[in-house]
Structure 1
Amino acid sequence: MNMNNLKRASMLAFLMILAAHTIFAQDKKPERASPAKVAKGTINGAAVTINYSSPAVKGRKIWGELVPYDKTWRAGANEATTFETDKPLKIQGLSLPAGKYSLYAVPGEKSWKIIFNSQTGQWGIKRTGETTDDETKHVLTVTVHPVKSSSFNEQLSYVIAESGFSLLWENLAVPVNFK
């Protein structure tokens, strides 16, 4: 092998290694400030999964400031939070069919609206800062009442129990009970 062919072969091998490294590096997702979380459990015999991104308080005032009152919120960060049930459920006398829903909330000081929306897979907010909630796709909206949580919750979390689920963040718990 002459010197030019050796240089070409070395350069080609180097470029192939560089290309492979670049391609495989694409598989690694960067750590998000609000990591993806999953809550799983059973509500009245139905298998329920809530997929959400979990923001942190980071010294901020959450309710009424970071998350404004009386404005639709994606109930988490990043993509819209989803709620999935394998069986129909009853909440406040209303039926929620089995299926997958985006979960939105309208926080208030004394009461919250919890919205189950049939559109899923969308990012949680538009470039304008408004949520991606499409009111024409609301399947069920209920009113619930927040309570002071028993402890401070730095990270937003969802907890599923036999009777329903709760959103916990900062100093608030928002129970959503099913019957």
Structure 2
Amino acid sequence: MKTSFQIKLLSFFLCAFLISSVAMAQKKASGPIPSPRDSVSGVIKGAHIKIWYGSPSVKGRKIFGGLEPYGKVYRAGANEATIFTTDKDITVEGQPLPAGSYAFFVIPVATGKWTVIFNKTAVQWGAFKYDQAQDQLRVMVTPKKVKLTERLVYKITKSGFSMNWDKTSVPVLVK
């Protein structure tokens, strides 16, 4: 009899745990994702370009020189590293970049040109295991001050692409 009571009690707690776990999972799933995945694609000089990235928000924070320190490799998005793919060989800021998929990073600085990096290890989490030896291409670009862009976004134009976030746009020339 005592064993039957213990089994019922254990069953009750197990059911209560499962029900509360499902309810909490549904609550989390229904809320907004803090840095949702996004992508943009287009054609530049005959090459099909696609950029996959996590899109974080400013949320009143100081972004470059704050959340993202100057002089340090930044994954150019949130969570997984941003992935840049081209189906044809292109030139980026006058330098050749073979067709393929690359992790896209930037190194922001307070003043002057930023370093833009295309790394051969396309799939990686953030920049935590970034290896400079795997860089396919590094070029320097001049960022521009722009109106506030709350959520990080990439734009593809006829002359290249840009990463826009906070009050900064990082344009990259592609041919």
TM above 0.5: yes
Q: Which runs of 4+ in 1 moved over 6 A?
A: none
Q: CA deviation at 1:136?
A: 1.1
- Identify the match of residue 142 of structure 1 among 139, 142, 153: 139
Partner of 2:87: 86
Q: For residues 12-23 of structure 1, what are the structure 2 equivalents within 5 Å?
A: none
Contact 1:152 1:171 in 2 (8 A): yes
Separation in structure 2 between the aligned mates of residue 99 and residue 29 of structure 1, nearest angstrom? 34
Q: Cα distance 1:29–1:89, how it changes in 2: closer, same or farther (>3 A)?
A: farther
Please list every run of 5 or more consecutive structure 2 residues that lacks an aligned counterpart in the other structure: 1-14
Contact 1:104 1:133 in 2 (8 A): no
Contact 2:105 2:118 in 1 (8 A): yes
Q: For residues 75-114 of structure 1, what are the structure 2 equivalents within 5 Å?
A: 75-109=76-110, 110-114=112-116
Greater shift in the superposed pair: 116-125 or 152-161: 116-125
Contact 2:93 2:172 in 1 (8 A): no
What is the aligned-residue RMSD (CA, Å)?
2.3
TM-score (norm 1): 0.79
Partner of 2:60: 59
Q: CA deviation at 1:29?
A: 6.4
Q: For residues 14-53 of structure 1, what are the structure 2 equivalents within 5 Å?
A: 31-53=32-54
Q: Cα distance 1:29–1:123, how it changes in 2: closer, same or farther (>3 A)?
A: farther
Q: % of aligned pairs identical?
A: 46
Q: Deviations over 1:139-164 (max 9, x none)?
A: 00000000111x21000000001111
Q: Deviations over 1:78-104 (max 9, x none)?
A: 000000000010123311000000001
Separation in structure 2 between the aligned mates of residue 70 and residue 44 of structure 1, nearest angstrom? 32
1:154 aligns with 2:156: no
- Identify the match of residue 169 of structure 1 among 162, 165, 171: 165
Please list every run of 5 or more consecutive structure 1 residues that lacks an aligned counterpart in the other structure: 1-14, 126-130
Q: CA deviation at 1:165?
A: 0.4
